[in-house]
Amino acid sequence: MVTVKIDGKEVQVAPNTLILDAAKEAGVTIPTLCHDSRLNPFGACRVCLVEQVNNPKLQAACTTPVTDKMEIITRSEKLSRVRKTAIELLLINHPLDCPVCDKGGECTLQDLTYEVGVTKVRFDAKPNDTPVDHTNPFIERDIDRCVLCGRCVRICDEVVNIQAISFLNRGTDTIIGTSFEQPWNCEYCGQCISVCPVGSLNNRIYLFKNRPWNLERVKSVCGLCSCGCTVDIDYEGNEVFRMKESPAEGINHGYMCAKGRFGFEFINSIKRQSEAVVKAGGESKKVSFNEAVEVAVEKLRKVKDTAGADAIAVVVSPRLTNEEAFLAGKLAKDVLGTSNLFSTESEEVYPEATLEEVENSDCVTVLNIDVTESNPILGLAVRHAARMGSAPLAVFYPGYTALKRVAKKFVTGNPDEVRASMESYAAAVAGASNEYSEWAAKLTKAERPVVVFDPYNKADVKIAQDIKKACAKVKVVPAKSKNNSVGIVDMGFGAKCATEFAKGLESGKFKAVVVLGENLSARSVWTKSASKAAGLELLLVTDPFMSETAAMSNVYIPVATFAEKSGSFTNLEGRVQSIEKAVDKGVNTDACVVSAIAKGLGAQLPADANAVRGMIEKEVPLYSGINWDGGVVSYPYVFAGEVAATDGKAKGKGRFFLYPASLRLHSGSFTRWSPDLAKVYGEPMLEIGVEDAKELGIKSKDRVKVKGEGFEGEFLVEIEKKVSKGCIALPEDFVATAGIFCNGKSLRADIVK
């Protein structure tokens, strides 16, 4: 520890702490413009200059580490003059269009202008005037307002590692741009927007919609993938205007992905339903919430009386909160008396490593999943480990992913080859000597190795388990897909196999099914049997939208999205985090639906999240005494017993290997209601390699038929150089493709033009 004196206040800090951080410790704020604590020191803006006693040179607080007995002065006449000059210089070329700039009101340059007290610029103003760039569907780029702090360039390089933008030209001509002035080609994560101190990079979804001072804010958790990012939901009235990062907070450190940042628009969608629908005798009728509940209750009672409680099934979606899932379980078990609780999740695999452990790992292996798309923040953690921590990263995936840039080893090929490679790798970890021995040694020698895998692919789970068995210090990350995939299992919806529900539907065992938020047609396990649900005595579906399943239902109740309710989600680390209600769209939550049905059946279930939490803490041992704001559940095991060896070989016959493509900004289920995400990727596209496309004479945007054993479909073609030769890929979660992947995760197919 060294002692430094900042503005007369003495503090003890660790050696090599930056002056800026030491000042924070001392309670002194130093103005900054180009600094971001998550990025490497840059020292460009010179606003944070401070005086060091006995040193004639000014020091940049954001780049200079403290030394013992250092004395720092942060406020002096000289410093305010230098700072003022810097801001004045920036204001020469900065177009003063604050009234129409989206950043106006939360702009660092505005704040600094006030702070240093610039009232009149001594120099002649020469505002830039270049056209605004709209080549990126989500990011508006106005280089006129740019102050060249380099934060966007640095975050795109250091954190996202896409390097989509960089400095161009030199001196006063310097601008931020893409190489060779090409259109933006990036992941659309919008990290650059989040760090831009001025209105140079703007969120096009929020563009010109409102001003920051009108917005109210709640801190919540993103309800899309299972990373569980802490986000700020900015709203006015009952409209969500933007979802943005909570700076440097949460397990995501203030990073977000395209889905979270730009995909929230479904909350405000005009396609949202507001009235319940009851179908009787082929006729749909809009009814009130209470009427719909009454119909449902009556039918449930009738089925229970005539066919018994076992004829009733409750299906929940992993979008539900823990509290809602718990209530649904309560309703099923205690009120209806059935044990038919289903979801797409299973309790076979529990979370183990946290994102922090992934970041700090010294050897990372990614098995057959494109985490940068499925769980982007987990992807960032993997990249961080591979790049900043320089952990050797091995990736197995049919086709290249964005991790190619940082991976020390990238094993690709067709799915069968990749599977064989993964099996050899697992064997090598277990001690066998083969081509992967060298890489296996890196894993076994590492102190904090991490393995990321896809928990929905049985064959992958088996490999992950084999690795874990061979090397106990390996921590695994099952990359679950949805925001509460883990939580609903904890609430009892993972005990039964999802296929059992499909069988029940097929056999006609179930007469009444309560579907909370789930879209059966878009789930590959259920899609085939989904049509059977249409003829049930009762098919109660709750969903914010009129999904395919909701359209089949005889009782439909519109419900709230995650921004309209309170509760908690458990993310892929097993971390329980609270969400906060921001807006009210005039629809009930799933908790209200469950509670109302229970009431109709003569039982009392609370709908209030806090009351339910009390019950959960009592009844779910895993959650007893849990901290609802970030507590990590300690699971009894990672793998539930020996995973049966499955034949992962591609099924069927055909020229091409067909595998589930990595998600492209969104899956086809929920986020497809976001108009802006859909603008970029609207319908499932068939990805095919350049060579194969050439051979077949297929061009981008052609429509081709994919035919395999037991399935057929027509898709738009996207030629993607990352896809290996002899392979084609389709996204999994679209209704149009769920029917394909119900046959297996790895298939063979032919392309018919």
Partner 1 sequence: MSYTTDHVEVHVCMGTAGVASGGQEVMDALDAEFTKRGLKNAESKERNCAAKQTGCRGLCARDVLIDVYIPGKDPITYEHVSAEMVPTIVEEHIVGGNIVEKWAAKADYFQFYDKQKRYVLADCGRVDPESLEDYIKLGGYEAIKKALTMTPEQVIDEVKKAGLRGRGGGGFPTGLKWTFCRNSPGDHKYLICNADEGDPGAFMDRSIIEGNPHAVIEGMLIAGYAIGCDEGYIYCRAEYPLAIVRVIKAIKDAEAAGILGDKVLGTNFHFKLKLKEGAGAFVCGEETALIASIEGERGMPRPRPPFPAVKGLWEKPSNVNNVETLANLPSIILKGGEWYAGIGTEKSKGTKIFALSGKVKSTGLVEVPMGITVRELIFDVGGGIPKKRKFKAVQLGGPSGGCLTPDHLETPIDYDSLIAAGAMMGSGGVVVMDETNCMVNVAQFFLTFTQRESCGKCIPCRIGTKTMLDILNRITTGQGREEDIELLLELGNDIKTASLCGLGQTAPNPVLTTVKYFRHEYEAHIRDKKCPARECAELIEFVVVDDRCKKCGICKKACPVDAITWEKGTVAYIDREKCVKCRECIVNCPFNAID
Partner 2 sequence: MKNVFETIFFTEILQGLGITLSHMFKKPVTYRYPFEATPIQDRFRGIQYIKTHADGRTKCVGCYLCQKVCPSECIHIETDCGPNGERLIRKYELDLSRCIYCGYCEEVCPVDAIHMGWEWNTVASDRSGYVINMKTLSMNYKDNLEGNWKNKHLKKKLVEGVQQ
Part of the chain binding partner 2 (CB under 8 A), chosen from 4-12, 93-101, 343-351, 655-663: 93-101
> Which of partner 1, partner 2, none does 211 bind, CB closer than 5 to 8 A by kind?
partner 2
Say how far residue 477 (Cα) sits from the centre of its chain.
15
Give, rounded to a whole angstrom, the gap between the first and last alpha carbons of the chain: 71
600-605 long-range Cβ contacts below 8 angstroms, 24+ apart: 600/293, 600/294, 600/296, 600/297, 601/297, 601/300, 601/301, 601/335, 601/336, 603/331, 603/334, 603/335, 605/327, 605/330, 605/331, 605/335
Asked if residues 317 and 328 have their Cβ atoms less than 8 Å apart, the reply is: no
Among 9, 122, 445, 699, binds partner 1 (CB under 8 A): 122
Part of the chain binding partner 1 (CB under 8 A), chosen from 119-127, 188-196, 403-411, 556-564: 119-127
Q: How far is the CB of 199 from partner 1 (least distance, A)?
A: 18
C-beta of 42 vs 289, nearer to partner 1: 42
β-sheet bridge partners, residue 541: 515, 556
* 63 near partner 2 (CB under 8 A): no
Please give the sequence-ordered ranges of beta strands (E in DSSP) within 170-236, or none if there are none: 175-177, 201-203, 216-221, 230-236
Q: How far is the CB of 211 from partner 2 (least distance, A)?
A: 4
C-beta of 200 vs 671, nearer to partner 1: 200
> Which of partner 1, partner 2, none does 46 bind, CB closer than 5 to 8 A by kind?
partner 1
CA distances (Å), origin 641, targets 348, 424, 430, 752: 8, 22, 18, 43
CA distances (Å), origin 350, targets 226, 472, 640: 13, 16, 8
Q: Tell me the C-alpha distance between 214 and 612, whole Å.
A: 33
C-beta of 140 vs 460, nearer to partner 2: 140
* 217 near partner 2 (CB under 8 A): no
Nearest one of 457, 525, 489 to 347, comparing CA atoms: 489
Helix (H, G, I), strand (E, B) or coil at 85: helix
* 238 near partner 2 (CB under 8 A): no
Q: Name the residue type at position 698.
A: I
Part of the chain binding partner 1 (CB under 8 A), chosen from 59-67, 451-459, 497-505, 550-558: 59-67
> Which of partner 2, partner 1, none does 122 bind, CB closer than 5 to 8 A by kind?
partner 1
Helix (H, G, I), strand (E, B) or coil at 146: coil
Q: Tell me the C-alpha distance between 252 and 380, whole Å.
A: 9
Q: How far is the CB of 134 from partner 2 (least distance, A)?
A: 5
Q: How far is the CB of 237 from partner 2 (least distance, A)?
A: 11
599-627 in b/e form (b: 16+ CB < 10 A) is ebbeeebbbebeebbeebeeebebbeebe
Binding residue count for partner 1, defined by CB under 8 A: 37
> Which of partner 2, partner 1, none does 209 bind, CB closer than 5 to 8 A by kind?
partner 2
Helix axes 322-330, 609-619, angle to 10 degrees: 70
* 169 near partner 1 (CB under 8 A): yes
* 123 near partner 1 (CB under 8 A): yes
C-beta of 85 vs 210, nearer to partner 1: 85
Part of the chain binding partner 1 (CB under 8 A), chosen from 102-110, 168-176, 413-421, 739-747: 168-176
C-beta of 38 vs 134, nearer to partner 2: 134
> Which of partner 2, partner 1, none does 95 bind, CB closer than 5 to 8 A by kind?
none
Q: How far is the CB of 115 from partner 1 (least distance, A)?
A: 16
* 98 near partner 2 (CB under 8 A): yes
> Residue 546 contacts by C-beta under 8 Å, 6 or more apart in sequence?
271, 273, 556
C-beta of 211 vs 333, nearer to partner 2: 211
Q: Tell me the C-alpha distance between 6 and 591, whole Å.
A: 53
Q: How far is the CB of 248 from partner 1 (least distance, A)?
A: 22
Asked if residues 417 and 443 have their Cβ atoms less than 8 Å apart, the reply is: no
Asked if residues 318 and 509 have their Cβ atoms less than 8 Å apart, the reply is: no
* 54 near partner 1 (CB under 8 A): no
* 286 near partner 1 (CB under 8 A): no
Enumerate binding residues for partner 1 (CB under 8 A). Answer: 41-47, 49, 57-58, 60, 63-65, 78, 81-82, 85-86, 89-90, 92-93, 122-124, 147-148, 150, 166-167, 169-174
Enumerate binding residues for partner 2 (CB under 8 A). Answer: 98-100, 104, 132, 134, 140, 204, 207-211, 213-214
